[in-house]
Structure 1
Amino acid sequence: MKNNDPQRQRLIELVRELAVIEGEVTLASGLVSDHYVDMRRATLHHEAAPLIGHVMLDMLEESGFGPDEIDAVGGLTMGADPVAAAILHAAASRGLAVDAFVVRKAAKGHGMQRRVEGPEIAGRRVVILEDTSTTGGSPLEALEAAREAGAEPVAVAVVVDRNTGAKERIEAAGVPYFAALSIDELR
């Protein structure tokens, strides 16, 4: 990823300003940290969200996972939802076809009773997303759900990696892991 990219630099500024909160907090992983990155404050922000889409799309393309190599992006609700939508819109603005999907925590008990919502992902190459990752639990859960739905997960991509083991766990599951930003860049 090009560290001097102006869009990426602006995204770092916005995430620092909007989403990094100092103070002790227990993370979803159960770990305790002296800071919290509330990425929904950035992924749902009018300026940061479009930047996230373009920065993530650029990172995937530079890593060999551009629109010719992937069909759809998505992950476990709720963290991945706005990231997937941002990438979908960034791709569309460039005339590229990348769909988005949502992985529910559990299948619906009514209607189609699907766990994976959106355009069909069976037989398609997908990238699993997350807004911020600590241990990789959410992307791994989404990865398994995508496989169960018949998709071919080709990578996991996160906006912010906390550098606390997610990369290693996800790569051990057989897919490459990419992060647009490191926690070290945000503090």
Structure 2
Amino acid sequence: MTQPRDAGSDQPRGRLWLADLLWRLGCVQFGDFSLGRTVRNSPIYINPKLIVSQPEALARVGELMDDELQLAMSMRNPHVERFDLIAGVPIGGLHIATALSLQMRVPLIYARPRAPGDEPGRRPQIEGSYRPGQTTLIVDDLAAGGGSLVEAVESLRSAGLRVRDAAVLIDREQGATRRLEPLGVRLHPTLTLDVLLTFLHGEQRIDPDDYRASMAYLHREGEPRSEFDQ
């Protein structure tokens, strides 16, 4: 399925614009990758941090996420609860959260990552101004197993903040949704791995063998879902 393209432009709109951007910036690579606690022997690697070096693209990412969130909040049964703060997940999510904060004019905060020597149960330090009871939207660049998102939820709630939703630029569909559900947090990806691969394959950007290997990996390791039509 192909989205309409911008009038007078060869660039696709919306989510597929993001897929096209990731490809053009070299954020998508194929090979054999193991990253963190979730990604093992993956045939595809996605590095959205390269967007930080493209100011215009970063600003447009903020606009795209704003559009998606405004739509979700305006529904009769809103998919996203209205929020007072945006909390970026260090380190990768901070530049995306900053772009969204500037676009929406919503204050930004973030919780410092726990250091290896921190005492168990130590309250995390929240950078930025906030008041207990405020509703906070978590923002990250990439979700895989959801570990960093869960840690962010726990850190923010320990500071007295309400967290009901997390927005990510890309969801690898490898368990983040399932890990957040017991916490009462909904995951809202702008783009999923399934849609990214389908777009690149349909546009003949990638080798068919890489597409088949990546889709097989997704079906084997991922959680069955598609956000394309939501």
Q: 1:105–1:52: structure 2 CA closer, same or farther, 3 Å change rule?
A: same
Where does 1:54-65 land on structure 2 (aligned, <5 Å)?
A: 54-64=63-73
Q: Which residue of 1 aligns with 2:217?
A: none
Q: What is the match of residue 167 of structure 2? A: 157
37-46 vs 80-89, which moves further:
37-46
Q: Distance in 2 between matches of 1:73 and 1:58?
A: 15
Where do 4+ consecutive residues of structure 1 move more than 3 Å? 65-68
Per-residue displacement from partner, 1:116-147 (whole Å, max 9, x unpaired)? 11122522111111111111111110011010
Normalising by structure 1, we get a TM-score of 0.84
Partner of 2:35: 27
SS at match of 1:156: strand
Distance in 1 separating the partners of 2:81 and 2:92: 25
Q: Residue 88 in 1 paired to residue 95 in 2?
A: no
Question: What runs of 5+ residues in structure 1 fail to find an aligned partner?
Answer: 93-97
Q: SS at the partner of 1:77?
A: coil
Q: CA deviation at 1:59?
A: 1.5
**Cα distance between partner residues in 2 of 1:165 and 1:68:** 22
Check whether the contact 1:57–1:66 (CA below 8 A) recurs between aligned residues.
no
Higher strand share: 1
Residue 48 of structure 1: which of 49, 57, 66 is its match? 57
Q: Number of residues paired by the alignment?
A: 176
Most deviating of 174-183 and 120-129? 120-129
Identity percentage of aligned residues = 28
* Root-mean-square deviation over aligned CA pairs: 2.4
| Higher RCO (C-alpha under 8 Å, 6+ residues apart) | 1
Q: Structure 2: which 5+ residue stretches go unaligned?
A: 5-11, 198-230
Contact 2:38 2:174 in 1 (8 A): no
1:53-95, Cα deviation, whole Å (9 max, x unpaired): 1111122222227999211111321011011101011113xxx
Cα pair 2:97 2:108 within 8 Å, conserved: yes
CA distance in 2, matches of 1:164, 1:68: 24
Residue in structure 1 matched with residue 129 of structure 2 by the alignment: 119
Which amino acid is the alignment partner of residue 182 of structure 1? T
- Structure of higher CA gyration radius: 2
Q: Write the distance in 2 (CA, Å) between the matches of 1:11 and 1:38.
A: 13
Structure 2 CA distance for aligned equivalents of residues 177 and 149 of structure 1: 21
